[in-house]
Amino acid sequence: MSIDTPALASRFRMQWEEAQQAWVLLYPEGMVKLNASAAEILKRCDGSRDVPALVADLETAFDATGLEPDVRAFLDMARQQQWVA
């Protein structure tokens, strides 16, 4: 398991839910409703980029700086939850 190029674990599915106006993570018999920033990070967890590239992508998309600590904290939690491998 590596977090160098984080990827959503195969047993989770992420999708937009119109009725909840939110992105959700679906897994066996369960669901996690994601807030907007969690969703933006997880959308970019496709195994193709490392954390600095992911942060750079987010900072460009949202015209922001200094996101890395928050992104790393979220990814640590996501890995603990086994959402991300």
Partner 1 sequence: MTLTDRPGPPLWLLAELTYRCPLHCAFCYNPVDFARTTADDELDTEAWLRVLNEARALGSVQCGFSGGEPLVRDDLEVLVAEAHRLGYYTNLLTSGVGLTEDRAEALKRAGLDHIQLSFQDTTKELNDFLSHTRTFDLKQKVAQTIKANGWPMVMNCVIHRLNIDHIGQIIEMAVALGAEYLELANNQYYSWALLNRDQLLPSREQIERAERITNEYRAKLGDKIRIFFVVPDYYETRPKKCMNGWGNVFLTVTPDGTALPCHTAKMLPGLSFPNVREMSVGEIWYDSDGFNRYRGDGWMSDTCKTCPDKEKDLGGCRCQAFMLAGDATAPDPVCDKSPAHHVVLDAVARAQQPGAVTTAPLVFRDPKASRQIAP
Binding site residues, partner 1, CB under 8 A: 11, 13, 15, 17-20, 24, 26-31, 82
Closest separation between CB of residue 82 and partner 1, Å?
8
Q: C-beta of 4: minimal distance to partner 1 in Å? A: 19
Of 15 and 60, CB closest to partner 1: 15
Nearer to partner 1, 27 or 74 (CB): 27
If the CB atoms of residues 31 and 53 are measured against partner 1, the closer one turns out to be: 31
Sign, CA torsion 44/46/47/49 = negative
Taking the C-alpha atoms of residue 23 and residue 78, their distance in angstroms, rounded to an integer, is 15
